[in-house]
Structure 1
Amino acid sequence: MSKSFTRRDFLKKSSMAGIAALMVPSAFLAACGSTQESTIPQNSGTSGSGKKITIGFIPLTDCASVVMAKELGIYEKYGVDVEVTKEASWASVRDKLLSGDLDAAHCLFGMPFSVYTGVGGAAGSELPIAMLLNANGQGITLSKDLVQAGFRDIQAAKSVIESAMAERELTFAMTFPGGTHDLWLRYWMGAVGIEQSKTQIITIPPPQMVSNMQVGNMDGYSVGEPWNGVGVRQDIGFTHISSQDIWQDHPEKALVLNKSFSERTDELKGVMKAILEASQWLDDLDNRKEAAKVIGHQAYVNAPPEEIENRLLGKYNLGGDLGEYVYTDDYMLFHKGGNVNFPRKSHAMFFMSQYVRFGYLNNHPDYEQIANKLIMQDLYKEVAAEMDIAIPDDDMKPFELKIDGAIFDPEDPAGSLEQYGGA
């Protein structure tokens, strides 16, 4: 088993070589902080094909394993020459993965299924999933005028939102049709009892959520950290619910691949091993302060490190005078002994079933065929075995959604929808 980087390793590396992203000229960093795609300066390395491997990321806290594998020199350790690039939106990530401008990306777990089924792209387009990057740590922020909805209070939310809807149309934002943030928003709305057809749901890139809320473009948004925490910090809203309160330890971001790169197995395995090692490093809470400082920089997430750090540690200032809530075992996770990283076919089936439930698809897709096509489970098992990482035995077993107690049975995706009143 490879030995994960310790805090001392990180500090030693930082003092000897510096953090590349923090040492680039200020003019370059200013450009990186814009909404345009930008490339972070890299150290040279060697990959099996001699080609640089380009991995995209969106400015979100959960890009940490992809970024820290670079900053800690772990990609180099596994012999792959990786460049990480900051991207503007999930649609841009999708297009670049399909075109080959990106070899891989920190990506919404739901995107490959959304694209393949035609919800969020050209139907039949393949974006394979190599592994999961994290679980938990997303949230729904509501505007301050809805603060009576409170924190995790479904009944209060129903009353407050129905009252507001009687006076005007409400607008909520998510980040990509059929993606994780979209599903958390729609699933929450279903649990609350909000009729989605009577609201407007718009698509906004994650880093633009706060600014759009500031100018009144929406009444709430579903997004990853740090943008819920930043919304509280800037006093534009409050955290109503976190995604782990909807589905504890849910799949969130994945390492999603360009189809051609998925066939460059030796290099891909090197990338996966590096990210797995970075994931282990991140799940040591003593390392999260250092990680927050790095990814908070303008070249990466461009947000206050203390805001990133607090929610990485499960400490949530809720805003709206609601106080603080501390998550003790279900904050954002990157590894959890391998339970996070294993790509489950059952989770793919759940996402596709919800596309039917929410009207994205008129007919049930071929759940098993699509899951088998897009999830590279055999390759993950091979990599995990080489790193002595345990493989969970819960795939294709029923699981429960925390917010409403619904049970999803991957052996009967269509039947599982009946508990919501049919679909």
Structure 2
Amino acid sequence: MTSEFHFPMTAVSPRTPRFGPPEKAHLRLGFVALSDAAPLAVAKRLELGHEHGLTFELCRQSSWAELRDKLLTGELDAAHALYGLAYGVQLGIGGLQEDMAVLMVLNRNGQGISVSTRLAEALRETGNLRAALATLGRTPVFAQTFPTGTHAMWLNYWLAANGVDPLRDVRSVVIPPPNMVDALRAGELDGFCAGEPWHAVAQAQQAGRTAVVSSDIWPNHPEKVVACRRAFVTKYPNTARALVRTMLAACRWLDSAEHRSDVAEWLAAPELLGVARDLIAARLLGDYGRLRSTRPLLPVSFYDGGAVNYPRASDGLWFITQYRRWGMLGPGTAGNDAAMAAEVNQTVCYREAAGADGVPIPDEYRTDVLCDGRAWNGRDPQGYLDAFSIRVP
């Protein structure tokens, strides 16, 4: 039976609201060495926070687990984070539970799955993932970056869409993004799912090839977010709005190809990514070099007239359906899941901040068709989940 859920909507006055000064003016922002941390680099380099009474300290973390732990202890105020990291912590999957907040989406698309040169050749010859994996003569090993993160979900979804059970037919391991290329070159991995620039690095070093980009799996999917503890939003509401306004300005700045070329140079710095500028720039500008795809290329997008950044609760609900699909959560009720997503995704805070700067608010629901032909819009999460044939019973 189909059940529709409607997330609460809050109107924003067309007049610019008068927010008080930020309760906390200096913020420590965490990030992992990925090209989609670009909005943080822009906000710091151009000091965009000054207009809203904020200063930033960017804090590079060696892994998503380290970033999570420092968010929970308060050592980091907020972070560039995997969408699924915030939801994994909210649900207490594999670690401590803490009420989390998603303030906004930083980007769509821009991730990928790379495979070893051996597996890439087998894919070219067979045109079939299951057949290509069979040529290895052993259980394939794929890496992702965090058990509940976007990369783990894209990898699982892609494998299952190609008839490969990610829980039974392959072995999945967690490796920080900067370590993946070395592991692929050493033969420890047959493939990995992560963000850029690590797929560009893998191809440049002839360690592997980009098999698909994440928009081949879910066109215009949400990816990284600004995440924090919900207690931070409660204690510092003006700061939270100021942070969103600053990051929206950074994302808007990144819509320009010329500006993306500039930020590639900034990101190349050792304290940020420590990767050659040209490798960062190529994929920020849309040169992905994937093996093959029947879908049009949708490169990383940071703003797109504001369409990227609204933290749809229905998007968060998709991750919960996947956690249930893969046995990371027991049976639950779709109504409770939708209520939780509405609490995590700070749509009121976002609407207030965006409204202050005239950023349009898109519709709560959008219908997207993923690589297996299934449509997702968030209106019937249980029906969507029940339709999968490859899943934990």
Q: TM-score, normalised by structure 1?
A: 0.82
The corresponding residue for 1:186 is 156
- Structure 1 segment 30-49 matched on structure 2, within 5 A: 48-49=22-23
AA of the residue aligned to 1:379: C
Contact 1:97 1:127 in 2 (8 A): no
**Cα RMSD between the aligned structures?**
2.1
* Distance across 2 between alignment mates of 1:97 and 1:57: 11
| Residue 95 of structure 2 corresponds to residue 121 of structure 1 | yes
Shift of 1:216: 2.0
- Structure 1 segment 52-63 matched on structure 2, within 5 A: 52-63=26-37
- Structure 1 segment 16-95 matched on structure 2, within 5 A: 48-49=22-23, 51-95=25-69
Instruction: Report the CA distance shift for 1:242/1:379 in structure 2 as closer, same or farther (over 3 A).
Output: same
The corresponding residue for 2:104 is 131
The corresponding residue for 1:42 is none
* Distance across 1 between alignment mates of 2:346 and 2:24: 24
SS at match of 2:275: coil
The corresponding residue for 2:173 is 202
Contact 2:105 2:223 in 1 (8 A): yes
SS at match of 1:290: helix
The corresponding residue for 1:376 is 346
- Bigger shift: residues 358-367 or 197-206: 358-367
- Structure 1 segment 333-348 matched on structure 2, within 5 A: 333-348=301-316
- Bigger shift: residues 49-58 or 192-201: 49-58
The corresponding residue for 2:18 is none
SS at match of 1:317: coil
Instruction: Report the CA distance shift for 1:270/1:211 in structure 2 as closer, same or farther (over 3 A).
Output: same
Describe the superposition over 1:84-128 as per-residue Cα deviations: whole angstroms up to 9, x where unpaired: 1111110111111111111000000111111222324324x1121
Contact 2:28 2:76 in 1 (8 A): yes
Question: Which residue among 396, 413, 416 is the counterpart of 2:365?
Answer: 396
Which 5+ residue runs of structure 2 have no aligned equivalent? 1-13, 15-20
* Distance across 1 between alignment mates of 2:317 and 2:368: 12
- Structure 1 segment 209-224 matched on structure 2, within 5 A: 209-224=180-195
Contact 1:169 1:200 in 2 (8 A): yes
The corresponding residue for 2:273 is 301
AA of the residue aligned to 2:44: K
- Structure with bigger RCO (C-alpha 8 Å, 6+ apart): 2
Question: Which residue among 317, 322, 337 is the counterpart of 1:367?
Answer: 337
Shift of 1:48: 3.4
Contact 1:155 1:192 in 2 (8 A): no
Instruction: Report the CA distance shift for 1:129/1:334 in structure 2 as closer, same or farther (over 3 A).
Output: same
Shift of 1:364: 2.8
Contact 1:141 1:238 in 2 (8 A): yes
| Residue 379 of structure 2 corresponds to residue 408 of structure 1 | no
Shift of 1:408: 2.1
Shift of 1:409: 4.2
| Residue 111 of structure 2 corresponds to residue 141 of structure 1 | no
* Distance across 2 between alignment mates of 1:183 and 1:149: 24
Shift of 1:75: 1.2
| Residue 151 of structure 2 corresponds to residue 177 of structure 1 | no
Question: Which residue among 218, 223, 226 is the counterpart of 1:255?
Answer: 226
Shift of 1:49: 3.6
Instruction: Report the CA distance shift for 1:48/1:384 in structure 2 as closer, same or farther (over 3 A).
Output: closer
Contact 2:23 2:238 in 1 (8 A): no
Which 5+ residue runs of structure 1 have no aligned equivalent? 2-46
Contact 2:251 2:303 in 1 (8 A): yes
Instruction: Report the CA distance shift for 1:353/1:50 in structure 2 as closer, same or farther (over 3 A).
Output: closer
Describe the superposition over 1:244-272 as per-residue Cα deviations: whole angstroms up to 9, x where unpaired: 11011100000001333212111222221
Percent identity for Structure 1 against Structure 2: 34
Shift of 1:329: 6.5
Contact 1:129 1:343 in 2 (8 A): yes
SS at match of 2:387: helix
Contact 1:136 1:331 in 2 (8 A): yes
The corresponding residue for 2:355 is 385
| Residue 73 of structure 2 corresponds to residue 99 of structure 1 | yes
SS at match of 1:279: helix
- Bigger shift: residues 368-377 or 240-249: 368-377
Aligned pairs, how many? 367
The corresponding residue for 1:39 is none
Instruction: Report the CA distance shift for 1:160/1:233 in structure 2 as closer, same or farther (over 3 A).
Output: same
SS at match of 2:37: helix
Question: Which residue among 197, 202, 227 is the counterpart of 1:231?
Answer: 202
Shift of 1:419: 2.5
AA of the residue aligned to 1:400: V
* Distance across 2 between alignment mates of 1:179 and 1:50: 29
Q: TM-score, normalised by structure 2?
A: 0.88
AA of the residue aligned to 1:68: V
Shift of 1:163: 3.2
Shift of 1:198: 2.8
* Distance across 2 between alignment mates of 1:160 and 1:154: 6
AA of the residue aligned to 2:65: A
AA of the residue aligned to 2:368: F
Question: Which residue among 238, 241, 261 is the counterpart of 2:212?
Answer: 241
AA of the residue aligned to 2:111: Q
